[in-house]
Chain A
Amino acid sequence: QSVLTQPPSVSGAPGQRVTISCTGSSSNIGAGYDVHWYQQLPGTAPKLLIYGNSNRPSGVPDRFSGSKSGTSASLAITGLQAEDEADYYCQSYDSSSYVFGTGTKVTVL
């Protein structure tokens, strides 16, 4: 049972901006632990998209950005592209365990 809650799905037209929320609690995000984001394209392994709340690994387009406030975090995708259609997961730390969000499917209309 995931301790980080995400909306099941979000959608947007090409070029639009979409955001995905990740809601935690005082034992994980609210305790000061960083939030990280992964993109999982259909049939492939997850890929690190954002680490340390707002940092992008080399090669990740700057269309992707992350933020954190209180017990929640958000991933924003600006200038949505067809290739962004995928599942997105947030991840943090809680009671000596790595914890993942419930996952959000992004659909490009």
Chain B
Amino acid sequence: EVQLVQSGAEVKKPGESLKISCKGSGYSFTSYWIGWVRQMPGKGLEWMGIIYPGDSDTRYSPSFQGQVTISADKSISTAYLQWSSLKASDTAMYYCARSCSGGSCHYFDYWGQGTLVTVSS
């Protein structure tokens, strides 16, 4: 069974750093892309970026380039999303999701349960 299990909820102060995780299981972690999607309170879905753990090829949405860093450790089948200096506007639910590779396969077939990040002084 394919599963993406994300790390737990976080409460942070503005200016602090944070790294959240997404562990894949039940499939070949290095053969699929892992994307990150933001959902601010009461709002829609926003694509942040994506990584191919097989070779660490990483792409970012122009809206999030330079604001976050996406990485992966294929030895433990885990992808990460990190911030160096959080802002109150980073308060949101963050989802990781799997995307197949190749051709026109640009969709997310499995999703993590989400990690709620709250940034407040």
Give A residues with C-beta under 8 Å from B.
Answer: 2, 33-34, 36, 38, 40, 45-48, 51-52, 57, 87, 89, 91-93, 96-103
Contact = CB atoms under 8 A, between A and B. Distances in A.
A52 B108 CA distance: 11
A36 B59 contact: no
Nearest to B109: A48
Nearest to B114: A45
Given A97-B61, A100-B45, A46 B107 contact: no
Interface string B81-121: 00000000000000101010000101111111110000000
Q: How large is the interface on B (under 10, 10 to 19, 20 to 34, 35 or more residues)?
A: 20 to 34
The B interface, classified by DSSP as helix, strand, loop or mixed, is strand
Contacts, number: 65
The A interface, classified by DSSP as helix, strand, loop or mixed, is strand
Given A93-B106, A97-B62, A46 B111 contact: yes
A97 B112 contact: no
B9 to A, nearest CB: 14
B106 A34 contact: yes
Given A89-B45, A91-B45, A97-B61, 10 more contacts: A38-B45, A40-B45, A45-B95, A46-B37, A46-B111, A48-B110, A89-B44, A91-B107, A98-B99, A103-B45
